[in-house]
Structure formats: C-alpha cells, structure tokens
Structure 1
Amino acid sequence: MDNVELNDPPYGLEKEFNTLLTADAIHFLSLLTSTFNNDVDKLLWNRTARKVHLDLTNSYPDFSPATAHIRNDTTWRVAPVPRRLQNRHVDIGDTAPCQTERFHQALVSSAQGIQVDFDDGNCPTFYNQIKGIFNVYQVVHEKIHGLPPVSQAPILMLRPRAWNMVEHNMLINGREIPGPLFDFGLLMYHIGRRLYENESGPFFYLSKVESFLEARLWNQIFIWTEEKLGLPLGSIKATVLIESVLASFEMEEILYELKEHSAGLNCGIWDYSASFVNKFGHRPEFLLPDRSKYVNMEKHFLKSYMDLLVQTCHRREALATGGMAALLLPKDKNSTEYESVIAAVTRLKLFEINAGVDGFMVYDVDLVAPMQKLFQEHSSGPNQLHVIPSMKISQSDLLVMPAGGVTLFGLKYNIAVGILFIDAWLKGEGHFYYSGKVEDSATAEISRSQVWQWIRHQVKLEDDDRTVTRGLVRALVQQVERQLGDESQPADLQERLHTAAELFMEIVLKRDFPEFITTYLNLDHTFLRRKF
C-alpha cells in the first residue's frame, strides 16, 4: 500500500471532505498516481527539453516528418461523436463549480453544455477543489432539489487542472499529487459510472496539452481508469484545448492518440497568444503587439490556427469548438450599451461560425439564447462536421506575428488585469469582472506576458515615443494600484491589493519568463500561507 498523507478538511467542509475522500477513493487516487507519476515527470521534463532545444538551435516548430504518415493517412477517424455531444452550439464557460449559485444557474439554462472549470476560471484552494467536486457530485447524484436530472441538464464538460499544477494538500509516497490526477481521479471515482449510465459523460476538457505524447499519456490514463472502474473502452471523451503554439503543429497526431476517447479540439485566443511569448518571447521576431488594439481572431496567425483546427477536426469527424465570449451584458436591455455588447459578440461569434466551428462558449448566461439563435440562423443541423476548409495552412501562416505597436492604454490595461487577477487569487477566486468583461488566468497570462516582453525588448509607446522600461512600468503599476484601490476599504483589502501589485512587478521583471502565472502563484509563499 502506498504511503498517503492528507491534510485536514478545509474549515466548514467536513461533510464534503468525508463524502469524497473515503478510504476507497483515497486508495484509487493512490493507485492512479503511483501508476502514472513517472510519466508525468517525463512529460514535464520533455517540455523543458523541447524549449531548451528550440532556444539552443534558434529553430521554429514545424509539422514533424516523423509523424507525417499519420497526417497523410486519409482513412482514420476518431470514434463516433456520442449523441449528447453532437450539438455543442453554446456552452457556458469559466464555471467554477465551487461557486454554487452560478453553477446551479448554468444547470437550469438552455445551454448545450457547461465548462465545469477547475482550471482557468478557478482558484485551486483546497476549499474550492473540495467544494467544487462535491457540488458536481451532488448534481450528478441528483441530490439538489429544483435542478434537472443529469440526463436532461446541459452536459458537464469537466476541466481538471493542467499538468503544471500540483495539489499541495495530498502527498503520495512523499510527493504532492499532480493537480489533474487529483481532480480527474475523484471525479471519475464518484461520478464516472453514473454519468455513463445516464448517457451524459464522462466528458472532459484537457488544458494546456503541448504535444501528441501528452495526449498519449491522457489516453493511457483513460484506459487504465475505465478498466479499474469497469467501464467500456471509449466511455471517457475528451476535448483537447489547443492553447500552445507547439500543439498547433500536432493537432492531427493529438486526435490520433485519443482516437477512441476524442471529443475534438478547442481553440481560444488568449492562452494560445500567450504561448508565443512563453516559447519565443525573447526573440524580437515574435514581438506581440498590443492585444487591445492589434490582436483578434481575424489576424492571420490566429485565423490560420482556427482554420487548421476546423479542417483537422472535420477531416477526422471530430468536433471543433471555438473560444469564449467574455463580454458581460448590462442589466438594462433597452440601453444602447446592451445593444452594443450584443452586436460585438454577434460579430465575433459569426466569424467563428463562418469558419466552421461546431460551437463555442459564452460566460454570461443571458448570452446563451441569442447565440443559439445566431447558430440556427447561420448553420444547418446540430454541428458543422460537413464544413471542411480547403486552404493549405503552412508553418509561416501559424508563426507570422501581426503588425502593430504598443499603446499606453494597452499597457495600463494589461497591468490592471494582471494585478486584479493576482488579487483575486489571494482571496481564493479564479476570475473577476473588469471593464465589462470577465477576466481569468488566460487573460492574466497574455497581460503579464506582454508587459514582460515589452520591457525585454524596450518597445516604444505609440502615444508619446516613451520606451517601456522597468521604471515606466513601476510608475504605471503604482498609478493603476491607486486607481483600483479604495481608501475607504479595510486595511487588509488595501494590503492585499498592494501585495498583488508587488507580485505582478516581481513576475514581469524576472530575467527568465515564468512559464505559467498560475504555477508561479500556486508555489508562492504568499499564496501558500493564506488560509482559505
């Protein structure tokens, strides 16, 4: 028997803790982790080695000749899409299940699905993980009055943490358990069979996958789990989020590795854009301009990525889904601002529909109905698997950076988002509202990435020709902190915002780019010593 150490239950969650972390569930987590621990280590080492190789050789990613036979074989397909996944027009994104009210609101909506998010839109405190998994458990086992049965509710697209995250509160053989194995293992143990029996899953999102080898590992985990829980092969279906530029060159291979377990691929703008800075930000040719002015899905490198994703998926009869609309609708439906938000979201999502996506996400529940109507008006049937873009997407199409500079507004906006995200994390929340949008770790990633890169390359502002330096950024951080703060707030809230501003400066001034802001914060003493 493996040695397992588990922290005490979070305050106020003793019932939830004892329901989930039974002796049998802990044994299952222990077996799962000990079986795949070495593979997780290799995965992370391979990521580091790949980055080092690209840097040492000053080379670019490309479609690999070693796997050309997979791309060139026109005969293979993923397993057929399950009935309940065939219509994915509109899902509700960034739904952290620890936020009970929002989670339940999503369940009674008309959305096709819910992104049950333990990753980008969630802060992974022990309280939030236990509360969130328990809330899902309660819903699947139909213990909440007033909610539809799981077979009739929007499908649950469960999104465990990515491989860069660890669970600090559970050690197996002296090592912290990988975050995704903790989330996936508990969810599968407690609700996997019930979801399968209700033709409602288990369906997953896989975050931040960087290569087909990582997809292969997930496939092995799925097979092992199905065997242990007595589920048929292929019961688990997963949508891989293509959030890394490296993964965009291996989309066919990723689908191939997950063939029996694939629910398709997903494209989103901000994590993917941030990955360019993550992998190549020190190279001048990959200088990414102001996202608030020059970066959107219509730009060539992002449109090429979306076109390739749709083409790849539909050739293999897999679903291709788009990103999330982050805009929030004003309460006054008769206001010009309301009409403006509807128009903006419609334009962006119509662009994705015309590109051939089978669905996308919205954050605001009130956007579900108008976006479903938009899909019905501009496409036929439950999906667009019949739409296969014919263009040839090359290496240069995926790597060319858009033209543009840096504005003072964009610099200050990125600073504000970065500070507010850290502030949200320090109070145990994974997303927040700012300037009419929901912001989460994806927008925090691109925000801090751009500030780091602009300092690194000493870019000049379009507004007044000033150079983006450490001194300028520090002065703007102080200015933004004052604007975001409120002197009438209690001293501890003011201190938390100041701590967030200092952490933001620390991150953007690092000599070497911190790979993920969430990893950096999750391992920081400021986060670890807080009691949630």
Structure 2
Amino acid sequence: MPTPYQPERTLQDVNILGELNNDTRKVLSKEVSVFLAVLHRAFNGRRKELLKRREIRQAELDKGNLLDFLPETKHIRENDTWKGAPPAPGLVDRRIEITGPTDRKMVVNALNSDVWTYMADFEDSNAPTWDNMINGQLNLYDAIRKQVDFKQGEKEYKLRTDRTLPTLIARARGWHLEEKHFTVDGEPISGSLFDFGIYFYNNAEELVKRGTGPYYYLPKMESHLEARLWNDVFNLAQDYIGMRRGTIRGTVLIETIPAAFEMDEIIYELRDHSSGLNCGRWDYIFSVIKRFRQNSNFVLPDRSAVTMTVPFMDAYVKLLIKTCHRRGVHAMGGMAAQIPIKNDKEANEKAMENVRADKLREVRAGHDGTWVAHPALATIAAEVFNEHMPTPNQFHIRREEVQVSPQDLLNMNVPGKITEEGIRKNLNIGLGYMEGWLRGVGCVPINYLMEDAATAEVSRSQLWQWCKHGVPTAEGKKLDKNYALQLLKEQAQELEKSAPKGNKYQLAAKYFATQVTGEDYAEFLTSLLYNEITNTDSSPTPAMKL
C-alpha cells in the first residue's frame, strides 16, 4: 500500500506489550503499527479534550442543570435539505442483525445465522484482554477471506456455502477506553483507534473487492463533536490508503442521554459516512441514571419496570426514527437479549412471545431493523419484520407527526416500585457479569438473558442511585450503605457456592462494593476493572522490529 510516511521514523517510541505469534503478526504487522501510530499522533489529543468536555458537562448536571437541544446547531436541525449518505452495498436491508464477541466460534456461528448483518463486537460483549482483542482481529481477517473454518474436539465449524453471508460490521471500543498493550510515545493508544485501525488497514480493500466495505458501529458518543472526530479519522484513513472518501460507513449507537439531544448533528457530522443510528436501549438507561445520578427527580424503579414504553424511552425511540428517516439513513432497533430456555417449554414460549411483541413494536414504530443476541431469535424477529416490512427498509415512514421536546426526553414518570428482589437481581447481574469479565468473558448468560457491560452498568448505577437518595423499598426498608453491602455479601457468597473453583466472585465483590453505596462512582465499570485483565509486565516489543 502506498504511504507517504517513513516507517522506521514513525515507529520510534512505538511499543507492543502483548505477546504475538506467527498468526497474530499478520494482523499487527509493521505497516499496521505505522498506521496506528499515525492515528494516535493525529487524534489522541482531541480525544482527551473531548473526554474532558464530558467531565465539564457532568459538573453542570450535578448542579441540577438539565439538558436541552443546542442553540448553536439549530440551523442544522431546521435545515431540511441535507441528507446522510445513501445506503452502502450490503447495508440497504439490515432487518435482522446478530451481535456478539469476536471469538472464532461466535464468528462462524454468527455468519452462518439467518440474519442480514453481523455486528462483530470489540466492545460491550468482549472483555478486552490482549488475547481477545488481537485474536478477534485475526478471526475477522480470516472470516472475510473465508479461511475461518476450524475444528474443536470432534465438532467442525465451517462457513456456509449455500448462501451469501451476512454483511460484517465491526464495533470498536468507545472513546473512553485505552489499549494499554500498544503504546505510542509512552502513552497507551485509544481502544477506538486500535480496533478501528487494525480492522481498516487489513481489510478495507478486501471487503470492497468482495462487494461490501469497511463498516463500523460507533458506541458511547456523547456529542456531535465526538462524531466529528470519527469523521476526521475516517477521512484520514481513506486518504492514507488511497480509498475513495465515503467508502467507510458508521452507524452510531444513541446510547447516551446527551447524544439524544444531538441526533441530527451527529448524522450531519458523519453524513458522507453515515449509515444511521441505533437505539442502544440498555446503555441509554444507564446513561440517564449516570448523568443525573445526583438528581433525586431521576430515581427509577426496578429495572424490569423500565420498559421501552415508559415516557422517556418512548420519546427517544420516536425522535430517533423521525430524525433518521428525515435524513435518509437507517433507524435500527434494540437488542433482544433472551436465550432459549431448553428445559422449560412454557417459560420458553413466554420468553419468545416477549421477543415477538418487542420486535412487533419496533417494526410498527418505523424501525428499519433490529438486534438479536442468539441465532434462535433471528427466526422470530425475521418473521415479524418480513410480515410488516415488505420493503428493504422503512425510510418512507417519516413520522412527521412526532414532536419531541426536551421535557419528553427527560420525563421520568415511570410507574413501579423498588423491591428487595430488584436489588438482589441487580447485585446478581453486576456480580455475574464482573466475575465473567475478570476471567476474560465479555457476555454472560444469567437467568436466560445475555448480560453484557450495558446491562451490568444499569444494575450498578441503579444500586448507587438508590443508596445515594436513601430510597425506601416496597417492603419498607431504607436502602443505605450498610444494607447494600450486607446484601452484596450475601449474594456474592451464594453465587460463589455454586461456582467452579478458581472463580472470581470475591474479587468482583471487592470492586462492586465501591460502586453500590452512593459514594464513589466510576465513569465505567470496564475502566474500573481494566487493569485486572491487562498483562503488560513482559518486555516490550519495539514495533520497528516486527
């Protein structure tokens, strides 16, 4: 590939602190490392400035201020003439998307599923150990070239040859995360740039050759300025390898409450690269609690009561669909996290009926597609969308009747109670997820739901919020620090009893205890735990020696 950079000079002070073998060296080559170093030096300063802006905004919200649509970008919202990019090859019809981590078995199973796209996840469902991240890149590299088949014990995993495989979309980590195993000038590289850069440099031209392109999901953004940063990254990357600008496409997850007030602006910043917005429902609930955690008017009941039909969630969905279709891009629905219940037919039928009802609500609202976490759910979701969406998408459903105000997006009128059962469920989910994450597993089945970082964050944030504001439970007991820690100890002991030897429940409980008392609050659980799964003690490999 042509490059104007001098590799040896660019790779000065670039070090790899994770182990490489002959296979992984092909995805983290000297040329890839040069590209990563260029991205870091061009954009890491702006990334850190934008994270600082989040802190400043949080300080304002902590004083009791609320969010509103930005007056300085009113001209963008009110201008009907601009549009996002037309759908890219392989992204016209996205009615069913399966999501999951990038281990080799998941990659094969996802691409063999009866879905239209597969979001290969380097973020919420993937614990970012060095092995997970670098081998995940290798697995996608091989899958794109249809060289991913493997054998595990007596079972063979092979890509289907009887149909076109789903379009691949990679989800990079959010701007807040770092990759400590790859340093530039003594600093860890952004996890976002690491994930994006390796996937893009190795696969962009090959994907285009095979009829699609380098497509991404972009998580956790909180402003249009963060989308602008991604757009600049895309332009530099395409220019670097001589690719036409606009080949990259990014779907933004609207999973933070600040981003909900900047949907038009986010599409506008990415417009030549935009492939729409997604309702990241669990992270969105987490963000609402997190950003307004000091405000007692935002206390929510048990997680099970916070459904997609409560006022603030309903307003968010309607605004997202209206905004996307006005701009000619996809409005993607949320995750069905259910797992089939094999040993209880009645319970399974009830769970699957809930999935069907959720997908019916989405397609009738005007969504262009939806997410599932398990291949078995793809059939149900497809039946619903095929019946009610005979066209490849629903851009023609404009939802012009929808009028959403700031007050609608912040309407916390959610019926429900806070119960001891709800507290214990949150503790179980948080502990279960954190214990798995500390073992390098990024999505954990709990009570027949696939829990990932987003759902664990809801659990953690609710517990913190309830303790902070001393809410009484339905049973009449005030939730305070002592009560929370007592219940945490009980749940950790209970889970540890039935867990295999070598489990990490006590370590998970140690960290969780700092997050559920209404005192300290980490910006993200994943950031809080990250040092536990990094291993940077080995001698660094200078990238110039690759």
- Say yes or no: TM over 0.5: yes
Determine the structure 2 residue equivalent to 1:257: 269
- Find 1:398's aligned residue among 380, 386, 409: 409
Q: Deviations over 1:287-308 (max 9, x none)?
A: 122112x201011100100000
**What SS class does the counterpart of residue 396 from structure 2 fall into?**
coil
Letter paired with 1:205 = Y
Mapped contact 2:283–2:454 kept (Cα < 8 A): yes
Determine the structure 1 residue equivalent to 2:227: 215
Determine the structure 2 residue equivalent to 1:96: 101
Distance 2:165 2:110 in 1: 9
Determine the structure 1 residue equivalent to 2:517: 509
1:7 aligns with 2:16: yes
**What SS class does the counterpart of residue 259 from structure 1 fall into?**
coil
Distance 2:107 2:84 in 1: 31
Shift of 1:68: 0.7
- Find 2:363's aligned residue among 334, 353, 365: 353
1:311 aligns with 2:319: no
1:469 aligns with 2:477: no
Greater Cα shift, 514-523 or 311-320:
514-523
Q: Deviations over 1:74-128 (max 9, x none)?
A: 11111111241111111112x111x211210111112101110000100001010
Spell out the pairing of 1:92-171 with structure 2 (5 A cutoff): 92-93=98-99, 95-97=100-102, 99-145=103-149, 146-148=158-160, 152-171=164-183
- Find 1:385's aligned residue among 389, 395, 405: 395
1:338 aligns with 2:348: yes
1:44 aligns with 2:51: yes
- Find 2:459's aligned residue among 436, 440, 447: 447
Distance 2:274 2:463 in 1: 36
1:34 aligns with 2:46: no
Determine the structure 2 residue equivalent to 1:74: 80
- Find 2:32's aligned residue among 25, 28, 40: 25
Determine the structure 2 residue equivalent to 1:430: 442
Spell out the pairing of 1:260-275 with structure 2 (5 A cutoff): 260-275=272-287
Distance 1:126 1:527 in 2: 8
Q: Deviations over 1:387-433 (max 9, x none)?
A: 12222000110001123330111110000111111101110011100
Distance 1:518 1:131 in 2: 20
Q: Deviations over 1:235-292 (max 9, x none)?
A: 0000000011000010000001101000000002211011112111111111122112
Letter paired with 2:194 = F
Mapped contact 1:139–1:150 kept (Cα < 8 A): no
Distance 2:37 2:347 in 1: 52
Distance 2:332 2:33 in 1: 35
**Cα 1:483–1:530, aligned 2, differ >3 Å: closer, same or farther?**
farther
Greater Cα shift, 391-400 or 38-47:
38-47
Spell out the pairing of 1:163-312 with structure 2 (5 A cutoff): 163-292=175-304, 294-312=305-323
Q: Deviations over 1:118-170 (max 9, x none)?
A: 00100001010011000000111222344258993111110001011100111
Shift of 1:530: 9.8
Distance 2:376 2:223 in 1: 36
Shift of 1:487: 6.1
1:364 aligns with 2:374: yes
**What SS class does the counterpart of residue 307 from structure 1 fall into?**
helix
Distance 2:212 2:456 in 1: 32
Spell out the pairing of 1:315-330 with structure 2 (5 A cutoff): 315-330=326-341
**What SS class does the counterpart of residue 164 from structure 2 fall into?**
coil
Shift of 1:8: 4.9
**Cα 1:150–1:176, aligned 2, differ >3 Å: closer, same or farther?**
farther
**What SS class does the counterpart of residue 377 from structure 1 fall into?**
helix
Determine the structure 2 residue equivalent to 1:500: 508
Distance 1:53 1:416 in 2: 33
Greater Cα shift, 509-518 or 146-155:
146-155
Distance 1:469 1:150 in 2: 58
Which structure 1 residue ranges, 5 or more long, are not aligned? none
Shift of 1:196: 1.8
Shift of 1:322: 0.9
Letter paired with 1:233 = R
Distance 1:387 1:442 in 2: 30
Q: Percent identity, please.
A: 35
Using CA pairs under 8 Å that are at least 6 residues apart, name the structure with larger relative contact order, 1 or 2: 2
**What SS class does the counterpart of residue 38 from structure 1 fall into?**
helix
**Cα 1:186–1:488, aligned 2, differ >3 Å: closer, same or farther?**
closer
**Cα 1:135–1:372, aligned 2, differ >3 Å: closer, same or farther?**
same
- Find 1:61's aligned residue among 67, 72, 75: 67
Mapped contact 1:92–1:113 kept (Cα < 8 A): yes
Letter paired with 1:15 = N
Distance 1:280 1:128 in 2: 34
**What SS class does the counterpart of residue 451 from structure 1 fall into?**
helix
Mapped contact 1:16–1:130 kept (Cα < 8 A): no
Shift of 1:517: 1.1
Mapped contact 1:321–1:357 kept (Cα < 8 A): yes
**Cα 1:274–1:487, aligned 2, differ >3 Å: closer, same or farther?**
closer
**What SS class does the counterpart of residue 506 from structure 1 fall into?**
coil
Mapped contact 1:4–1:30 kept (Cα < 8 A): no
Letter paired with 2:16 = N
Higher normalized helix content (fraction of residues): 1
Mapped contact 1:4–1:170 kept (Cα < 8 A): no
Mapped contact 1:142–1:149 kept (Cα < 8 A): no
